[in-house]
């Protein structure tokens, strides 16, 4: 079925197709019995799939990565498709339009996407308002970032603002310093500024009556030395874990012609081309840390086998995004059924 739906959606620009697909999904959920029908078709409810990671009970280990539902508009509908958790954002304190369109491109030969969205979102206030009415029983992560106009020396204030406002409404936090589409953002991945940022957030967190897990989302383009720094920083700051990985600025090994790739321009590459490197990063972090903190793996998961690959490398949970675009909602069901067989 999704093969035909995808044929139609791929006739439209990628960002337009996303809006069409989400509108159609919401229409189904709004129908009497629609949500129940979606769950019957796509969800896999089985106690054996439940996982407790950093103190949170997940109904299953397959989540939706940040960026797909930035403003938390579709949480209920997406949960009906069988996701074990949904990560909203990246959210910034103030609304921002993001980069000029077009800014999201498909590479069908590679089962990949290039995006330079630029943290487009409706802002913190709008997200908090939606999450204050969140449906019960769904694990939600809040992916936080800084506004483009905020200089790096004041970035901490943006992250703290998002943390405080979202704290009552999300189950865990993802600190995004790894998007390639906000100028200078990745500089915050350097050891000293990153350690300072995470220490400050964790200090605030530990002052709460019931602290919540803080995770760091990292790029796949880090060197082994930088990954060693990440392990040290996670231990020193006592945050809960790592999300590995974000999109890559690399363009190696693509089937799409170099001319076409050059024509599309800058942006983060996601999907199948990131699969191997994302797995390498997960394995490296898991081995270097001796499994001392959980890892959520994301990058190139488009089949049950690629999801299993991440778990075997040391991931506790996985997230999908580009694979979901190319494979449709049936992907979650296939992955979960595969996990049940192992």
Residues marked active site are found at 179
Which residues have CB under 8 Å from 262's CB, separation 6+?
none
Task: Mark residue 115 as left, alpha or beta (left: phi above 0; alpha: psi -120 to 50; beta: remaining).
Answer: beta
Q: Where are the alpha helices (DSSP H) in the chain?
A: 2-9, 14-30, 34-42, 75-80, 124-131, 155-166, 191-206, 224-237, 258-264, 275-288, 304-313, 322-327, 330-341
Residues 320 and 89: their CA atoms lie apart, in Å, by: 15
CB contact at 8 A, 92 and 158: yes
Residues 278 and 282: their CA atoms lie apart, in Å, by: 6
Q: Is the peptide bond before 102 cis (omega within 30 degrees of 0)?
A: yes
Question: Which DSSP string corresponds to 246-265?
Answer: --BS--TT-SS-HHHHHHH-
Give the strand pairing for 104-107 and 85-91: unpaired
CB contact at 8 A, 300 and 273: yes
CB contact at 8 A, 79 and 134: no
């Amino acid at each position: 079925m999704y093969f035909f739906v995808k044929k139609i959606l791929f006739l439209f620009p990628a960002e337009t197709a996303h809006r069409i697909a989400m509108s159609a999904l919401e229409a189904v959920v709004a129908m009497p019995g629609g949500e129940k029908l979606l769950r019957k078709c796509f969800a896999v409810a089985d106690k054996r799939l439940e996982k407790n990671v950093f103190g949170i009970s997940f109904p299953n280990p397959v989540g939706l990565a940040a960026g797909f539902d930035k403003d938390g508009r579709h949480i209920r509908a997406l949960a009906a498709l069988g996701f074990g958790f949904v990560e909203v954002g990246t959210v910034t304190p103030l609304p921002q339009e993001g980069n000029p369109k077009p800014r999201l491109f498909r590479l069908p030969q590679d089962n990949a996407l290039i995006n330079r969205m630029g943290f487009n979102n409706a802002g913190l206030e709008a997200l908090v308002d939606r999450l204050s009415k969140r449906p019960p029983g769904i694990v939600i992560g809040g992916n936080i970032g800084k506004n483009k106009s905020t200089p790096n020396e004041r970035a901490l204030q943006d992250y703290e603002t998002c943390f405080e406002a979202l704290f009552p409404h999300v189950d865990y936090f993802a600190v995004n310093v790894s998007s390639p589409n906000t100028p200078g953002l990745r500089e915050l991945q350097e050891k000293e500024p990153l350690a300072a940022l995470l220490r400050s957030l964790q200090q605030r967190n530990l002052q709460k009556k019931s602290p919540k897990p803080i995770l760091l989302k990292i790029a796949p383009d880090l060197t082994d030395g930088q990954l060693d720094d990440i392990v040290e920083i996670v231990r020193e700051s006592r945050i809960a874990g790592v999300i590995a990985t974000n999109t890559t600025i690399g363009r190696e090994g693509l089937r799409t012609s170099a001319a076409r790739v050059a024509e599309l321009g800058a942006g983060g590459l996601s999907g199948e081309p990131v699969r191997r490197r994302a797995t390498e990063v997960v394995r490296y972090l898991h081995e270097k840390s001796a499994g001392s903190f959980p890892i959520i793996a994301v990058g190139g998961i488009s089949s049950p086998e690629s999801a299993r690959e991440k778990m075997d490398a040391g991931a506790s949970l996985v997230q999908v995004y580009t694979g979901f675009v190319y494979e449709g909602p049936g992907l979650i069901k296939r992955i979960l059924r595969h996990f049940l067989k192992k």
